[in-house]
Amino acid sequence: MEPGIGIDIIEIPRMEAALARRPALARRCFTHGEQAYCAARARSAPHFAARFAAKEAVAKALGRSLSWQEVEVVRDAAGRPGIRLHGRAQGLAGSRPVLVSLSHCQEYAVACAMVLPRSSHEERS
Protein backbone atom coordinates (compact mmCIF):
# COMPACT_ATOMS: atom_id res chain seq x y z
CA MET A 1 0.00 0.00 0.00
CA GLU A 2 1.20 3.49 -0.85
CA PRO A 3 1.98 6.15 1.74
CA GLY A 4 -0.98 8.37 2.58
CA ILE A 5 -1.78 11.75 4.03
CA GLY A 6 -4.97 13.07 5.58
CA ILE A 7 -6.08 16.32 7.18
CA ASP A 8 -9.21 17.34 9.04
CA ILE A 9 -10.49 20.48 10.74
CA ILE A 10 -13.36 20.85 13.19
CA GLU A 11 -15.08 23.77 14.88
CA ILE A 12 -14.44 23.54 18.63
CA PRO A 13 -17.80 25.10 19.64
CA ARG A 14 -19.54 22.43 17.54
CA MET A 15 -17.68 19.66 19.40
CA GLU A 16 -18.41 21.34 22.74
CA ALA A 17 -22.13 21.51 21.94
CA ALA A 18 -22.22 17.91 20.72
CA LEU A 19 -20.55 16.65 23.91
CA ALA A 20 -22.96 18.68 26.07
CA ARG A 21 -25.99 17.42 24.12
CA ARG A 22 -24.87 13.79 24.03
CA PRO A 23 -22.49 12.89 26.88
CA ALA A 24 -22.26 9.31 25.55
CA LEU A 25 -20.48 10.71 22.49
CA ALA A 26 -17.20 10.83 24.42
CA ARG A 27 -17.47 7.15 25.34
CA ARG A 28 -18.42 6.18 21.79
CA CYS A 29 -15.71 8.14 19.98
CA PHE A 30 -12.77 8.23 22.37
CA THR A 31 -10.74 5.60 24.22
CA HIS A 32 -10.50 5.64 28.02
CA GLY A 33 -7.03 7.18 27.75
CA GLU A 34 -8.22 9.94 25.43
CA GLN A 35 -11.19 10.71 27.68
CA ALA A 36 -8.95 10.91 30.75
CA TYR A 37 -6.45 13.18 29.01
CA CYS A 38 -9.13 15.58 27.75
CA ALA A 39 -11.11 15.59 31.02
CA ALA A 40 -7.95 16.62 32.91
CA ARG A 41 -7.74 19.87 30.92
CA ALA A 42 -9.38 23.11 32.07
CA ARG A 43 -11.29 23.28 28.78
CA SER A 44 -11.67 19.79 27.35
CA ALA A 45 -13.45 20.60 24.07
CA PRO A 46 -10.34 21.74 22.11
CA HIS A 47 -8.56 18.52 23.07
CA PHE A 48 -11.52 16.32 22.18
CA ALA A 49 -11.89 18.20 18.88
CA ALA A 50 -8.20 17.76 18.00
CA ARG A 51 -8.45 14.03 18.68
CA PHE A 52 -11.63 13.75 16.63
CA ALA A 53 -9.87 15.52 13.75
CA ALA A 54 -6.89 13.16 14.14
CA LYS A 55 -9.13 10.11 13.84
CA GLU A 56 -10.63 11.53 10.63
CA ALA A 57 -7.19 12.45 9.27
CA VAL A 58 -5.85 8.93 9.90
CA ALA A 59 -8.88 7.39 8.18
CA LYS A 60 -8.25 9.64 5.17
CA ALA A 61 -4.54 8.75 5.15
CA LEU A 62 -5.43 5.04 5.17
CA GLY A 63 -8.15 5.57 2.56
CA ARG A 64 -10.89 3.84 4.58
CA SER A 65 -13.59 4.70 7.07
CA LEU A 66 -12.76 3.34 10.51
CA SER A 67 -14.41 2.82 13.85
CA TRP A 68 -13.68 5.70 16.25
CA GLN A 69 -12.09 3.37 18.80
CA GLU A 70 -9.64 1.93 16.23
CA VAL A 71 -7.56 5.13 16.17
CA GLU A 72 -6.18 6.39 19.47
CA VAL A 73 -4.19 9.57 20.03
CA VAL A 74 -1.46 8.98 22.60
CA ARG A 75 1.41 11.10 23.90
CA ASP A 76 5.04 10.10 24.21
CA ALA A 77 7.26 10.88 27.22
CA ALA A 78 8.05 14.33 25.77
CA GLY A 79 4.34 15.11 25.29
CA ARG A 80 4.33 14.75 21.49
CA PRO A 81 1.16 13.26 20.03
CA GLY A 82 1.27 9.89 18.37
CA ILE A 83 -1.15 7.33 16.99
CA ARG A 84 -1.88 3.85 18.30
CA LEU A 85 -4.00 1.75 15.95
CA HIS A 86 -6.33 -1.07 16.97
CA GLY A 87 -8.31 -3.70 15.10
CA ARG A 88 -8.91 -3.20 11.40
CA ALA A 89 -6.97 0.09 11.35
CA GLN A 90 -3.86 -1.71 12.57
CA GLY A 91 -4.36 -4.33 9.88
CA LEU A 92 -4.64 -1.66 7.19
CA ALA A 93 -1.46 0.10 8.29
CA GLY A 94 0.50 -3.07 8.92
CA SER A 95 3.98 -2.17 10.09
CA ARG A 96 3.89 1.28 8.50
CA PRO A 97 4.33 4.14 10.98
CA VAL A 98 1.58 6.75 11.30
CA LEU A 99 2.60 10.31 12.17
CA VAL A 100 0.22 12.98 13.43
CA SER A 101 0.29 16.69 14.14
CA LEU A 102 -2.45 18.43 16.15
CA SER A 103 -3.21 22.11 16.64
CA HIS A 104 -6.05 24.21 17.96
CA CYS A 105 -6.97 27.81 18.57
CA GLN A 106 -10.09 29.37 20.08
CA GLU A 107 -12.43 28.27 17.27
CA TYR A 108 -10.83 25.39 15.36
CA ALA A 109 -8.89 22.18 15.88
CA VAL A 110 -6.92 20.63 13.04
CA ALA A 111 -4.98 17.42 12.58
CA CYS A 112 -2.73 16.12 9.85
CA ALA A 113 -1.78 12.44 9.62
CA MET A 114 0.73 10.71 7.42
CA VAL A 115 1.10 6.98 6.87
CA LEU A 116 4.70 6.36 5.91
CA PRO A 117 5.88 3.66 3.53
CA ARG A 118 7.58 0.60 4.94
CA SER A 119 11.31 1.06 5.30
CA SER A 120 13.43 -0.49 2.59
CA HIS A 121 14.78 -2.93 5.22
CA GLU A 122 11.25 -4.19 5.98
CA GLU A 123 10.39 -4.55 2.27
CA ARG A 124 13.38 -6.87 1.78
CA SER A 125 12.42 -9.13 4.70
CA–CA separation, 55 and 75 (whole Å): 15
55 is catalytic: no
Q: Which residues pair with 4 in a beta bridge?
A: 115
Catalytic residue among 32, 47, 55, 104: 104
* 3-class secondary structure, 26: helix
Catalytic residue among 32, 47, 55, 60: 60
DSSP 41: S
104 is catalytic: yes
Residues forming the active site: 60, 104
